[in-house]
A and B are shown apart, each in its own frame.
Chain A
């Protein structure tokens, strides 16, 4: 593009860009597990490219996060440790990560498609003049010599998948939704080399200042951690239907979720939404009640271990994805399930094994 006279303007073999990086996202000392999921997936990409897998850890006093990154599979860690990085803000984090990229040149950089990861990824892509694919649900690489990252993500109301390439820029960046990939096993005590880099930025250089932090109870987090989700869609026909789903969820020790149709109808708030514009979940059991199965919903729950669908319409797309299904009226089926599980479990929580 005009005005971007960088050495990357022309096609290159990018031989000086090697390695797969994962940005480790954390807040208040706790890592967002999407980062470890990405180390698990990054390991596969690194193996195909025969390169090292690295974690980038930025923050204030982050030694314990560095140790964890090794235990979840990083071969080496790039660390920027500075009081300015105490909590996440776009500009200092972008500056730190961009400096690392310029100095150590990864070919692939993965971040969680969380509000922080999306924010940081687009800032960094702008700063280092590279391409970015957001909200990917599938990653692959072409083997050497091409080494291209194939990043696929839903588009057009999540009805179709687009596979995106970044041929002429490095690093190739992608954000990935939490729970898209499985957690890798943790190897306690595993360690590796740490490369420290300075931030080179002071508080005075930062244009926005956080005034206040308002902690809210965020339902989405519970949704993402739940082992059992009972979700409702347009087929409920009425907001009162969620009462039935809550009873079933309670009997199973789970939580309630919803499709966008139910949220748009105003039957339940956005925090409960599963899908591309809501949360991505990966429970052991997902029970979809009166959900037809728009792609935008399916991409949010397709990785669930066991999917059960209850729908009146035998041709509903949800049945293409479900492992078990009942063609029938959820208002008749759900109460029987609730009773059966209440009796069976006698009030004991599920999945205790």
Chain B
């Protein structure tokens, strides 16, 4: 089974709000030196792929990332946890694409790879969090999409069995291939740590870079997005906190308890 996992390299989502800077004119983050990580749900998707390959007793995992040169680090990490190969999609025409443009680029790359039986993406990127690329990619590939999957297993007759989060629990589906699934986080799909030996092997693997021209894509057509950012800002909260005072923590707690009773909240 050929599995493609789409990974996005993003600004570390753990950077505290007070350290986060945005350029309100350009409507972009202004964080040139920020540490970069793989999107959290993309890591879950990679783990789902690794477990599926184990359960199937074989298969090939290709990690694909669209991004600047630095995104090769995300792909190296995927290789280090034993993805079989990796491809970087990088071109000035690929910067600032909306989700529709992103899906077009990823779709072209997967076609160039010769297609895939299963394509996995995170349910959302972890930075802009538009949460649409997986579904749009399925459309590009003419494949069905299963959203909010958290686990995959080999199904009967070459099908894929997918476990999907639903409002009341989980659904198990079997889909024919090719199929796209967006992956959500669960306790069972936290990305494993790389072994030292695999880390070193990952650094030696060649990672090809494909441009718009390599993928036969017209940069001008990619640039015409469907949605745009009007504004980007740090939200402010105007609630004023009433600090409960007292000599000891016990006094404060008693005063708070009385206050909540006064307010008829308790």
Residues in A lying within 8 Å of B, measured CB to CB? 1-3, 27, 32, 88, 90-91, 114-116, 118-119, 122-123, 125-127, 129-135, 150, 153-157, 159-169, 207-218, 221, 252, 269-270, 276-277, 284-285, 294-295, 298, 302, 305-309, 314, 317, 319-329, 332-334, 336-337, 340-341, 344-345, 350-351, 353
B15 at the binding interface (Cβ < 8 Å): yes
Answer whether A324 and B17 are a contact pair too, CB < 8 Å, given A1-B100, A116-B166, A337-B257. Answer: no
- Residues 129-143 (chain B) with a chain A CB within 8 angstroms: 129-132, 134-136, 138-139
Partner of A326, one of B15, B184, B186, B253: B253
Contact B242 A325 (CB under 8 A): yes
Kindly state whether residue B196 has any CB partner on chain A within 8 Å: no
CA separation between A218 and B169, bound complex, in Å?
6
Whether A333 contacts B249 by the Cβ 8 Å rule is yes
Q: Which of chain B's residues 229-266 have a Cβ closer than 8 Å to chain A?
A: 229-235, 237, 239, 241-244, 248-250, 252-254, 256-257, 259-261, 263-266
**Shortest Cβ distance from residue B1 to the other chain A in the assembled complex, whole angstroms:** 17
Determine the interface band of chain B, counting residues with CB < 8 A from chain A.
35 or more
Does the CB pair B229–A294 fall under 8 Å? no
In the complex, chain A residues whose CB is within 8 Å of the CB of B257:
336-337, 340-341, 344
Assess whether B230 is in contact with A209, with CB atoms less than 8 Å apart: no
Pairwise interchain contact B227-A166, C-beta atoms closer than 8 A: yes
Instruction: For A208, give its contact among B11, B29, B146, B243 (CB under 8 Å).
Output: B146
Bound CA span A67–B249, Å: 53
Q: Contact between B233 and A324 (Cβ–Cβ < 8 Å)? A: no
Residues in chain A near residue B176, CB distance under 8 A: 207
Provide a sorted-by-A list of 25 A–B residue pairs whose CB atoms are within 8 angstroms: A1-B222, A27-B166, A88-B166, A115-B147, A115-B164, A122-B132, A133-B227, A156-B29, A157-B13, A163-B232, A214-B172, A216-B170, A218-B167, A221-B168, A285-B265, A294-B16, A306-B265, A308-B260, A321-B241, A324-B256, A326-B244, A332-B253, A336-B257, A341-B266, A344-B257
- Determine the distance from Cα of A88 to Cα of B167 in the docked complex, in whole angstroms: 11
Query: Given A119-B147, A326-B256, do A207 and B233 touch, yes or no (CB 8 Å)?
Result: no
Q: In the bound complex, what is the Cα–Cα distance between A234 and B138 (angstroms)?
A: 39
Is there contact, CB below 8 Å, between B237 and A302? yes
Asked whether A216 lies within 8 Å of B11 as measured between CB atoms, the reply is: no
Asked, given contacts A159-B234, A165-B227, A165-B230, whether A213 binds B171 with beta carbons under 8 Å apart, the answer is yes
Q: Does B187 contact A (CB under 8 A)?
A: yes
Complex interface: chain A residues within 8 A of B242 (CB) = 323-325
Q: Does chain A have a CB within 8 A of B204?
A: no
A residues near B139, Cβ cutoff 8 Å: 126-127
Among B130, B173, B222, point to the contact of A134 (Cβ < 8 A): B130
Q: Smallest Cβ distance from A333 to chain B, in angstroms?
A: 4
Known: A134-B129, A155-B127, A155-B128. A317 touches B17 (CB 8 A): yes
